[in-house]
Amino acid sequence: MSDKTMSAEEAVARLESGMTLGIGGWGARRKPMALVRALLRTEITDLTVVSYGGPDVGLLAAAGRIRKLVTAFATLDSIPLEPHYRAARESGALELMEVDEAMFMWGLRAAANRLPFLPVRAGIGSDVMRVNPGLRTVTSPYVDESSGTREEFVAMPALRLDAALVHMNRADRLGNGQYLGPDPYFDDLFCEAADAAYVSCEQLVENMGTAELTKEAAPQTLLLKRSSVTGVVETPNGAHFTSCVPDYGRDEAFQRLYATTPYAEFAERFLSGDEHAYRSAVEAWQREWNQ
Amino acid sequence: MSTTRAETGAKASRAEYCVIACAETWRGNGEVLASPMGVIPSIGARLAKHTFSPDLLLTDGEAMLVGLDGAPEGWLPYRQHLTMVTGGRRHVMMGASQIDRFGNQNISCIGDWAKPKRQLLGVRGAPVNTLNNPTSYWIPKHSPRVFVERVDMVCGVGYDRAAAAGPSATRFHRIPRVVTDLAVLDFATPDHSMRLASLHPGVTVERVREATGFELTVPDEVPYTREPTQDELELIREVIDPTGTRDREVTEPKSTRDREVPDSGRGGR
């Protein structure tokens, strides 16, 4: 079996401009930020980004890499509105497919199951239909006995991805991935909906199924199967500044800095070098901030 | 009402009436997830669970179902949360940047959607919530900017839009209440347009009308939002919200028109 480990640079080198890219996590929770930072160091642009949006969307939008965004929101959780996403929307800088949170999940499920769509009640009657004129409805072939009618649903199209980026607490060289926090979010669906999936992890372990940690954590924490994973990247602190419990919580102070600093200034200080340089710059800032 | 106050010895604040009104939205709901968004709805949901709706489920805001003491009793990651919504075993109280007279709600953006004047949260789960489980609203500052003739983007579906969309939309659609810092509103009218259900003590019908940007149905007799019991006041003040976070979301009225009016002036008209 093949060793899928690679560097963050090698992972993003496999991406191309114009791709549809899914990004796992949720809001400012367990986002593959080190992979996003690596992506920002490339020239890749014109992306269609599919994400339960957080600072991943904010950074890529601020850097002008997103042509089209598919999302239900973009938030920093403790800061309700993602400032760079907001600026991009208010200047009309990106195309948006705005769908409901559940529609989004069913779009990923359809893609993971190789279906063209799945029927969902959500969306009917709302302006999601107005702002997405391409959305179609589907009528049930079965008569609902309570109303005597055939119900009409949104036919949520599959959100098929060229590539997915997700971040796990642990992974092995083969691509088995484990989350240890309270919520898997939808990272397995992102990987299954994608032609190629790159998984960063806090810590690489040998033989996931027999590793010490897996004996302590229940088997259902083994979220990602190697059959839907293309590459594995070990990136300690790779979700920073989003949360990655139990390894670490959100870096609220740094997130506030991110949210209140103009992007050019933030990028100059934190994103001009590699991941090691990022860590050093963050640590330097933390020393200053703690004084 | 004044006797109740004399008995309790401490007059309820506006924020406390809001807590009571929010708690009441979950009365009789049984064993469903209460999803409060905002400080006062959260206090209200906990108060309801402490008192008349003990079977309610609550979350820690992330992935755990928790009891009133914060101890976990179950797991509810997002993917299962969405099934709680579509399965209907939930009553959510959302916020609204705009709401219209049929209960259409907007939290997405202000202005033209294609290039908004002000980008807000996005539709989030409002479409799935409103079509699948009871959805109430909490508005901490009742004003014509929020209560508008037409919302800029329909996120939460109102009664007229649901009816126009057909049986799949109306089947599980229900908006029990809209609670604000001034009043409680509902849609108990023949055409499901918004109606004034109760006034918080000290508020006049005129004040609510001024703060509402569309024609509101006002019954001949408008009751006041009920008084909290002594037990409820103690729970709010000593157990659920001892630091008074509720007063940061709704401040005690200071302007003349918001000030307590004498009993003789409280006809509710």
**What SS3 class is residue A239?**
coil
Give tens-digit pLDDT for A18-49: 999 999 999 999 999 999 999 999 999 999 99
Cβ distance A159 to A193 under 8 Å? Answer: yes
User: CA–CA separation, A196 vs A194, rounded Å?
Assistant: 5
Residues of chain B with Cβ-Cβ distance to A81 below 8 Å are 119-121
Model pLDDT, residue A94: 95
Structure confidence at residue A215 (pLDDT): 65
Q: Which of B75, B78, B121 has its CB closest to that of A75?
A: B121
Complex confidence, ipTM: 0.95
Q: How far apart are CA A25 and CA A168, in angstroms?
A: 9
Rounded CA-CA distance B30/B26 in Å is: 8
Q: Which amino acid type is present at position A112?
A: A
Tell me if residue A36 falls in helix, strand or coil: helix
B159-162 contact pairs (CB < 8 A, 24+): B159/B102, B159/B103, B159/B187, B159/B191, B159/B192, B159/B193, B160/B102, B160/B104, B160/B192, B161/A125, B161/A126, B161/B102, B161/B104, B162/A125, B162/B130, B162/B131
pLDDT at A290: 83
* Complete DSSP assignment for B128-161: HHHHHS-EEEEESS--TTTB-SS-SS--B--HHH
Best A52, A99, A100, A244 member to test B by mutation, with max B CBs in 10 Å, is: A100
- Rounded CA separation B245/B222 (Å): 29
Task: Return the DSSP state at A228.
Answer: G
Name the phi and psi angles at A142, rounded to 5. -105, 140
Q: Which of A81, A123, A124 sits opposite B121 (nearest CB)?
A: A81
Tens digits of per-residue pLDDT, A217-246?
Answer: 889 999 999 999 999 999 999 999 999 999
Write down the pTM of the prediction: 0.94
A133: number of Cβ within 10 Å? 7
Can you give the pLDDT at residue B266? 34
Please determine, for residue A265, whether its predicted confidence score (pLDDT) is greater than 80: yes
Chain A residues in contact with B127 by the CB 8 A cut-off are 100, 102-103, 122-126, 128
- Alpha-helical regions (H) of chain A: 8-13, 33-40, 55-62, 83-90, 101-112, 128-131, 187-192, 212-216, 252-260, 263-270, 275-290
Chain A residues close to B172, C-beta within 8 Å: 121
Structure token digits, residue A278: 């990022």
Contact predicate A190/A23, CB 8 Å: yes
Tens of pLDDT along chain B (269 residues) come to 444 444 445 689 999 999 999 999 999 999 999 999 999 999 999 999 999 999 999 999 999 999 999 999 999 999 999 999 999 999 999 999 999 999 999 999 999 999 999 999 999 999 999 999 999 999 999 999 999 999 999 999 999 999 999 999 999 999 999 999 999 999 999 999 999 999 999 999 999 999 999 999 999 999 999 999 999 999 999 999 999 999 999 988 875 445 444 333 333 32
Cβ–Cβ of A125/B118 closer than 8 Å?
A: no
Cα–Cα distance, B23 to B227 (Å, whole number): 12
Pure H helices in B105-264: 126-132, 159-165, 167-170, 205-210, 230-234, 246-249
H or E segment to which residue A67 belongs: strand A66-71
Q: Is B214 left (phi over 0), alpha (psi -120 to 50) or beta?
A: beta
The region of weakest confidence among A42-51, A198-207, A266-275, B1-10 is: B1-10
- At the topology level, CATH places domain A8-99+159-249 in Glutaconate Coenzyme A-transferase (3.40.1080)
In this structure, the number of other CB atoms found within 10 A of the CB of residue B51 comes to 14
pLDDT of residue A286: 95
Single-letter residue type at B128: V
Restricting to B residues 144-183, those with a Cβ less than 8 Å away from any Cβ of A are 153-157, 161-162, 164-169, 171-172
- pLDDT-based confidence at A211, cuts 50/70/90? confident
Whether B22 and B40 have beta carbons less than 8 Å apart is answered as yes
Q: Nearest C-alpha of chain A: how many angstroms from B210?
A: 28
pLDDT at residue A114, rounded to an integer: 98
Chain A residues close to B75, C-beta within 8 Å: 182
Q: Tell if the CB–CB gap between B123 and A124 is shorter than 8 Å.
A: no
Distance linking the first and last C-alpha atoms of chain B: 18
Chain A residues in contact with B119 (beta carbon < 8 A): 81, 85-86, 89-90
- pLDDT value, residue A237: 98
Q: How many CB pairs under 8 A join A and B?
A: 142
DSSP-derived secondary structure for A204-222: E-SSGGGSHHHHHS-GGGE
CA B53/CA A110 separation, integer angstroms: 38
A77, A94, A96, A101: best mutation site toward chain B, by most B Cβ within 10 Å? A101
The residue to which tokens 């469903």 are assigned: B32
Chain mean position to CA A137? 27
What DSSP state is assigned to residue B265? G
- Out of B115, B120, B154, the one facing A127 most closely (by C-beta) is B154
* Cβ neighbours for A218, distance < 8 A, ≥ 6 positions apart: none
Which secondary-structure segment (H or E) carries A157? strand A152-157
Domain with CATH 3.40.1080.10 in chain A: 8-99+159-249
Residues of A whose CB is below 8 A from B87: none
Integer Cα distance of A193 and A197 in angstroms: 9
Q: What is the pLDDT of residue B264?
A: 37
Q: Which residues contact B83 (CB under 8 A, 6 or more apart)?
A: none
Q: Which residues of B touch A71 (CB under 8 A)?
A: 122
